[in-house]
Structure 1
Amino acid sequence: MRAFRRLLGRRHRVIAAAVAALATVCALIGLRPDTASITVLAAARDLPSGVLDTADMKAVALRPDTVPDGAVRPGTPVAGRVLAGPMRRGEPLTDTRLLGPSLLASHGPGTVATPVRVADPETARLLSPGDVVDVLAAPSTWEDAAPARTVAEDVTVLTTPDGEQDRGALIVLATTSDQAVKLASAQAGGHLSITINPRGR
């Protein structure tokens, strides 16, 4: 009986030692820094659309499975680039957030970035990048009784206005070359307005 107790005691000590060793290993794993991370650029603060400055971005480390496609890495020049839409603080910067070829890549071949000035700034402030709109042209004077006409249909908003603008709101649309010509002609001879297409929301 005494031998059995000694054997049982030794077994308990072995189990306790194994549990303690396992706990130590788990603790060391928990304290070990996570080396499996990718460093990307993210917004240092809430940002409006517009021209970026170096101080607008900061480097952040993300787990590989949380890094968005097209994330911009540290060392990539971003100062002077144009942000297509607002960003929240901490949001990773991606190539499609910047005005340029990457922004147009998802819109198919033949797409161009077309700046247009919308007569009503308040309406333009309702827009977000990715919204789909129709563009209407109206005469510049009330004496001209010609009705408003649709100049471009189902065009996507690339960038939205940044701050107050005295002569209407400047937005950039993804259009075809033909639509760009029509918009330029309509803008030269009248005022442009927009209607927001619910399919783009």
Structure 2
Amino acid sequence: MLPDVAPSARRPLRALRALRSVRRAVLAHRRLLAAALAAVAVAAGLQASAAPPPATVPVTVAARDVPAGRVLAPGDLATAAFAPGTAPDDLATEAVGRVLASPLRRGEPVTDVRLVGPALTEGHPGRVALPVRLPDAGMAGLLRVGDVVDLVAADPQGGKPTLVAAEVPVLALPAGPAEHGGTGGTALGGRLVVVGARPDDVPVIADAAARLFLSYAWRV
């Protein structure tokens, strides 16, 4: 029972006691509220961390810098994750054991146009990929993929040199010097070069390579 005080004085006392009761209730439940908020934060964090990673596609890439002419081994290759739609077209599906037509940088995807084969003529419409053995390995070693040359043949027994094929692009140099003791030679001698020949020039080039001394001149 409230003390014997005037009615006008009772209302502030009741309000003060009610405020104290609310404060005590808040203090009593403060730890419970803090624990609940912490639980909500942890749950939100777990949900965010459990979100699935972005979609990727596996792509075969060079594990290190690889020179042209190398027969690709498993250690030369690695798998990288690419976002869908970012991988290049014409990826090589079975690159191990294939001969590299041009150098690859570490992390670069392995595509068909980087391997010796029919895809080498991509970008050279109307041409076919033709392997030609140049008898002088040192001279052939001066070539680089992308060079455009005129193929010239001469008879070792004498005779006037003749133009065999003009404006022939070099597509690949499969037998690199590092693979043959630094000379570029093989059991057959010389150096193998893959060129982009016009179909009509193929028989003439093949005949000259078999019977004559085949050389080249750079196109300026």
1:104 Cα offset (Å): 2.4
Other-structure match for 1:35: 54
Other-structure match for 1:46: 65
Greater gyration radius: 2
Large movers: runs of 4+ above 6 Å: none
Other-structure match for 2:204: 182
- Of residues 75, 80, 83, the one that matches 2:100 is 83
Q: Which has the higher strand share?
A: 1
Pair 1:194–1:34, CA change in 2 (3 A):
farther
1:88 Cα offset (Å): 2.2
Contact 2:153 2:214 in 1 (8 A): yes
Secondary structure of the structure 2 residue equivalent to 1:70: coil
Percent of aligned pairs with the same amino acid? 40
Other-structure match for 1:147: 160
Secondary structure of the structure 2 residue equivalent to 1:178: helix
Distance, in Å, in 2 between the alignment partners of 1:124 and 1:34 is 50
Report 1:55-70 matches (<5 A).
55-63=75-83, 67-70=87-90
1:150 Cα offset (Å): 1.1
- Of residues 110, 113, 116, the one that matches 2:129 is 113
Pair 1:136–1:36, CA change in 2 (3 A):
same
Distance, in Å, in 2 between the alignment partners of 1:34 and 1:159 is 40
Letter in 1 for 2:115: L
Other-structure match for 1:101: 118
Pair 1:55–1:196, CA change in 2 (3 A):
same
Distance, in Å, in 2 between the alignment partners of 1:194 and 1:131 is 11
Secondary structure of the structure 2 residue equivalent to 1:102: helix
Task: Give me the TM-score of the superposition, normalised by structure 1.
Answer: 0.69
Which stretches in structure 1 are left out of the alignment for 5+ residues? 1-24
Confirm whether residue 162 of structure 1 aligns to residue 176 of structure 2. Answer: yes
Corresponding residue pairs, total = 166
Secondary structure of the structure 2 residue equivalent to 1:84: coil
Other-structure match for 1:71: 91
Task: Give me the TM-score of the superposition, normalised by structure 2.
Answer: 0.64
Which stretches in structure 2 are left out of the alignment for 5+ residues? 1-44, 178-183
